[in-house]
Structure 1
């Protein structure tokens, strides 16, 4: 893995949700439904579907290496105190899971663990829509910041986050 991650942070209070709401509206107009794992129900079947989606989307992360087994993933994602199914946004095209933005609660901040969209659905603003939709979770948690980090070669993810107002951070 990279020695120097790009660490980014967004101030929840100054995030211009109205500016990015157009991405949510466009998704809805195209038949893409945004929801959370809590609203879908946090079931074993849905956890497996999230795993498969995360595994597929993570394959494009530079230097990612082999993805976790389901048991490892469940331990790292679901069996931790910061996990909350309200923080896992899912984009659905009909019944197909096409995107995810998983965020965990760490008190004063939420951490965007992974945002990804299946290859056939990229370039339509779905990632920005999911992250905008997910800002409600940050507010529900009373978090003042959203944090994330990226491999320095993951230029598209870094650019998307910066477009949304994320700035370089030293956390």
Structure 2
């Protein structure tokens, strides 16, 4: 397994306004945002989330085979850290085109950015930054002060996007 790039954001220092233009631009192009809590945490929506996550995860270097749907539910959804309000979705019409999922870990006092991804035809428009901005707002409104994430070292675009938002490298062993 590679040495993962571990990053952390200080929520108190994060400046939302610096990234507000990404939300405006997305909305002007017909993209809207909703959480899974707003849309409903239903079996159909869980399946749609799984399909979107699987498609977006295919681009992660050395990802390997994605979870089966049952494994995904058991490891990502049917766990105490899952919160439907922490699943931010980008929608074009009724199509789910992007996602940013964040889990909450009160036992460790942190939130964890599980996955942010956008379908290939919609990339290059700043949607990942817009999704991550909304995820950061969820973390802040939930009372957390740290948001952590980790990436494969060859996932340069994800690492750069997080660093642009203000995530900094973290010493191994300090993430939860």
- Report 1:5-154 matches (<5 A): 5-107=4-106, 108-154=109-155
> What is the CA–CA distance in structure 1 between the aligned matches of 2:20 and 2:170, rounded to whole Å?
25
TM-score (norm 2): 0.95
Counterpart position of 1:162:
163
> What is the CA–CA distance in structure 2 between the aligned matches of 1:76 and 1:45, rounded to whole Å?
18
Shift, 1:54, TM fit: 0.2
> What is the CA–CA distance in structure 2 between the aligned matches of 1:26 and 1:76, rounded to whole Å?
34
Q: Which sections of structure 1, spanning at least 5 residues, go unmatched?
A: none
> What is the CA–CA distance in structure 2 between the aligned matches of 1:136 and 1:157, rounded to whole Å?
19
CA RMSD of superposed structures (Å): 0.7
TM-score (norm 1): 0.97
Size of the aligned set, in residue pairs, is 170
